[in-house]
Amino acid sequence: MLTLYIGNKNYSSWSLRPWLVLKHFNIPFTEELLPLNTPEGIAARLELSPTGKVPVLRDETLLVPESLAICEYLAEHFPDLPLWPDQPNARAHARAISAEMHSGFAALRTSMPMNVKARLPGAGLTEDVQKDINRIISIWVECRLKYNQDGPWLFGNFSIADAMYAPVVSRFLTYGVELPEIGRSYMKTVLSHPAMQAWMDMAAVEQWFIQSAEPYANCSFNQDER
């Protein structure tokens, strides 16, 4: 049996990624939430992994940290499930944009931290953030134009690449980021996925407030409905 250790659903963008993959492909797992800013959560995370971070996947005695490594482990462990696109060129492309997400977009991640239940239109939009947004839009547009005939996801069918970009969709919603029609349509696809909706519903009822993840809590654009 697999166990996925995750952080708070409202804030933990990295946890959302493998969680969505597990849910989408109906892979049985149990989840354990280790609250991000509590002493117990910090101790539990350090016990699990020297990174001290979530997500971490447990498979019997094996512990796999790092969201993308977890997704790769799942893809190897369930070779009959199409976690990556089947066609080699599409698969290479999906891996490249997933790696780009995992290692990049620092400005966006810093200035627009995932905060599922907040609505902060206009907050965090700097020049560097706009550059990250532009690159993400061009990734989405290229994928959607190329694989549109196979379905509404980045590579037609849902894959790990979509899970890697799902927290970006949540950020774009929270911060009211303006997108071209093709981007808005892809956002709708992601936001209407039942597992994404379930995650957002659970985030909406969480009571934790993490100051460091809420840089705009006292600003005028805070239209949070909590």
Ligand X SMILES: N[C@@H](CCC(=O)N[C@@H](CS)C(=O)NCC(=O)O)C(=O)O
Q: Which residues bind ligand X (CB under 6 A)?
A: 7, 12-15, 36, 52-55, 66-68, 102
Residue number of the CB atom closest to ligand X: 53
| Residue 161 near residue 82 (C-beta atoms within 8 A) | no
Please, which residue, 179 or 200, has the CB nearer to ligand X?
200
For the CB of residue 79, give the shortest distance to ligand X in the complex, in Å. 23
d(CA 104, CA 59) in angstroms, rounded, equals 28
For the CB of residue 36, give the shortest distance to ligand X in the complex, in Å. 6
Cα–Cα–Cα angle for 116, 119, 123, rounded to 5 degrees: 110
Please, which residue, 67 or 159, has the CB nearer to ligand X?
67
For the CB of residue 145, give the shortest distance to ligand X in the complex, in Å. 28
Three-state SS sequence of 73-128? HHHHHCCCCCCCCCCHHHHHHHHHHHHHHHHCCHHHHHHCCCCCCCCCCCCCCCHH
Please, which residue, 75 or 144, has the CB nearer to ligand X?
75
For the CB of residue 34, give the shortest distance to ligand X in the complex, in Å. 8
d(CA 210, CA 207) in angstroms, rounded, equals 10
Please, which residue, 68 or 90, has the CB nearer to ligand X?
68
